[in-house]
Chains A and B, each alone.
Chain A
Amino acid sequence: MSAATKMSAAPISATEASNGMELFLHQVLAGLATGGIYACMALAIVMIYQAIDSLNFAQGEMAMFSTFIAWQLIQWGLPYWVAFFATIGISFAAGVAIERIVFKPLRDAPLLSHIVVFIALFAILNSLAGFIWDFSIKSFPSPFGSRPLFGGLVSMHDAGMVFVTVILMLLLFVFFRYTRIGLAMRATAANPDSARLVGIRVGWMVALGWGMAAAIGAVAGMLIAPIVFLEPNMMLSILLYGFAAAVVGGLNSPLGAVVGGFTVGVIENLAGTFIPYIGRELKLTIALALIVAVLTLKPSGLFGKTIVHRV
């Protein structure tokens, strides 16, 4: 039931219709703005999925921790862009380290064990961040400024975030489709035994994937923090929206991740505005219902490749 019809029981006049239309467009635009956040997170998710053929539930916490590192570097006086790139480097190294130290010994362990370790990682990072930097909300600077655009619904930062996300998406797309290492990484995730047989150093590929995912997550965190403010619990719901976006778009498609992110953002906003009562209360539930619906109805998402299994 749209807001427009709620306002009057009588047939809609032209002005009322255009008001309804305006509201709709406003919400779409706002949805695209928040969708930028989800798209960015979704790219990190697609990255790790391409590397390990699985989903890292601690991805959000890693991004959060990276953002705190950036914040700390800025507090210590480093200029924004120096801190930005230093954080990306540190996050990459940390991602590789986590994979080599924590996950390499678990190579042959069942998925169950991996999930528990993801959970452990989540708990450790969340707790550590709270311990070092406490749970109070901090502000994080934006390199784009917060000048409003389009009548106040979207800011310069929102636009900048979308811009960076699209660049990242293009880089990832090119990486996976057109480079040897990208191909090797996809092969490693798909079939590690066969990858070894063609001489791919599987261990390095997985470690590289983790590093890249951590780096992308750091970028996502640093772009998101100016909007939602920096605190240790900032990422869980965003991670879930990110999962929804990645699933909707197709878990092996960077383009899908971005389109999925915008889709989720817009749906979330429209549902929140136009569905009475529950729209606002159940915004996260809607994202999650999306996950379940897409996974059951079209698991490959909008842009993912359907996987055919010959028995």
Chain B
Amino acid sequence: MAMNPHSASDTPADNQRLYLTLAVVVVAVILPFVVKNFLIFQLTLAMVYAIAILGLNLLTGFNGQFSLGHSAFFAIGAYTAAILMDHWDVAYYWTLPAAGIACMISGFLFGLPALRLEGIYLALATFSLAVAAPQILKSSPLEPWTGGVQGITIIKPDAPFGLPLNSDQWLYFFTLALLLALFAGAANLVNSRTGRAIMAIRDNSIAARSMGIDVSLYKALTFGVSAFYTGVAGALGAIVIQFVAPDSFTFVLAIGLFVGLVVGGVGSIAGTLFGGLFVLFVPNIAEHISKGLAGAVYGIILILVIYLMPSGAAGLARLIGTKLARRHS
């Protein structure tokens, strides 16, 4: 189900993919009417994480810049939304573009020094950002805004226009619509000339530069766009959970997003959905399997994924698709 940039013609594989996508969307639309509220809430969160992972994917999967620090952008987005709603009564839907822009700017700014770093060094620098973020959020100069350790509570919005949906269902559809729009945006970006330039930088930045691509500008911009996506996700997350506090945004989240990216499949837009579900449900599953050794079970699952599905869920799907195609021909 990966968005294939070469799908220009109407091959049978493309039709299959289209039907599959439509089927998934139909199921997604029906779901909130048949499952319990808590599951709707969880699925909404999974979508939020998927959007956040998509942001990370744009940076790491498509542009090759490692980030173990995207929890910081998620936090900036979340706090932007919370502060706007709590201090100035801004409507929840306006907080999303605001969060996005705030993160885009901070992402671009962080992308500038990051230009000089690569690979494990960039991973270390971004990890540092992730670890520092909660400390900074708790610090006293920022306390009047952030509410310090206590954080900020937000009220969940109701469905507009008196639609017959409860607020969980409304948020689910709101998030779903946003997800589809953002995914389409990302797919467009990736399939465009800009997208190809971004990927060229990942594959061989020296060659890209010699082809006339302004590598520094593109890298910093990609950082910004990536942060935009994750920031919007953060804002959404704040609205859905109704609460922000510094300890919700630790390095554990950053690592979770990174793991979700790899599990879903680097460079695959659709894979981020799987990643989002993974981030939300697998830690719970691990705890279910063994309460005392939840972390160990999680670690073992990760290792199995790397060994058995090194290209993530998207890679596995591609493999199955190829095998099926071969059988039919």
On whether the beta carbons of A296 and B117 are closer than 8 Å, the reply is yes
Contact A115 B124 (CB under 8 A): no
What 1/0 mask marks residues of chain B from 111 to 142 whose CB sits below 8 Å from any chain A CB? 00110110111011101110110011011110
For residue A298, give the distance in angstroms from its CB to the closest CB of chain B: 10
Q: Which of B78-86, B89-97, B299-307 contacts A (4 or more CB under 8 A)?
A: B299-307
Q: Is the CB of A115 within 8 A of B295?
A: no
- Measured CB to CB, the closest approach of chain A to B285, in angstroms, equals 14
Is B296's CB within 8 Å of the partner chain A? yes
Q: CB within 8 A of B298: which of A123, A278, A296?
A: A123
CA distance A116 to B125 in the complex (A): 17
**Residue A111 is within 8 A (CB to CB) of chain B in the complex:** yes
Would you give the shortest CB distance from A109 to chain B, in whole angstroms?
6
Q: Is the CB of B293 within 8 A of A291?
A: no
Which listed residue (A105, A122, A124, A130) contacts B307, Cβ 8 A? Answer: A105
Are B306 and A282 closer than 8 Å at their CB atoms? Answer: no
Q: What is the chain B residue whose CB lies nearest that of A52?
A: B120
With A131-B293, A243-B124, A282-B139 as known contacts, state yes or no: A311 contacts B66, CB within 8 Å.
Answer: no
Known A288-B131, A296-B116; contact A281-B139, beta-carbon cutoff 8 A = yes
B299 contacts A120, CB within 8 Å? yes
Tell me whether A55 and B117 are in contact (CB under 8 A). no
For the complex, give the distance between the alpha carbons of A250 and B275 in Å. Answer: 36
Instruction: State how many residues of chain B have any CB contact under 8 Å with chain A.
Output: 45
Contact of B266 among A112, A124, A284 (CB under 8 A): A112
Cβ-defined contact, A292 with B113, below 8 A: yes
**Docked CA distance A111–B202 (Å):** 13
Q: Check A128/B293 contact, CB under 8 A, given A117-B303, A281-B139.
A: yes
The stretch of B33-41, B186-194, B255-263 that contacts the partner chain: B255-263
Q: Of B124, B300, B305, which contacts A295 at CB under 8 A? A: B124
Contacts of A105 in B (CB 8 A): 307
* A150 contacts the other chain (CB 8 A): no
- Across the interface, which residues of B come within 8 angstroms of A292, CB to CB? 113, 125, 128-129
Q: Does chain B have a CB within 8 A of A240?
A: yes
Those of A50-75 within 8 Å (CB) of chain B: 54-55, 57
Closest residue of A by beta carbon distance from B113: A296
Q: Are B136 and A285 in contact (CB under 8 A)?
A: yes
Contact between B136 and A282, CB atoms less than 8 A apart: yes
A282: contacting residue among B117, B120, B135, CB under 8 A: B135
Determine if A76 is an interface residue (Cβ-Cβ < 8 Å).
no
Closest to A56 in B: B120
Residues of the A chain whose Cβ atoms lie less than 8 Å from the Cβ of B119: 54, 111
Contact A278 B141 (CB under 8 A): yes
Q: Within 8 Å CB of B310, what residues of A?
A: 109, 113
The 3 closest A-B pairs by CB, nearest first: A127-B295, A288-B128, A124-B299
List 15 A–B pairs whose Cβ atoms lie within 8 Å, in order of A's numbering: A55-B124, A111-B66, A112-B60, A112-B66, A115-B66, A120-B302, A123-B296, A127-B295, A128-B293, A247-B124, A285-B132, A288-B129, A291-B125, A292-B125, A296-B117
Binding site for A on B (CB under 8 A): 60, 66, 68, 113-114, 116-117, 119-121, 123-125, 127-129, 131-132, 135-136, 138-141, 206, 255, 258-259, 262, 266, 292-300, 302-303, 305-307, 310
Query: Apart from A116-B302, A120-B300, what are 18 other A-B pairs with CB-CB below 8 Å?
Result: A115-B120, A116-B305, A119-B302, A121-B299, A123-B299, A124-B299, A124-B300, A127-B294, A128-B296, A131-B296, A240-B131, A277-B141, A281-B139, A282-B132, A282-B135, A284-B131, A296-B117, A299-B121
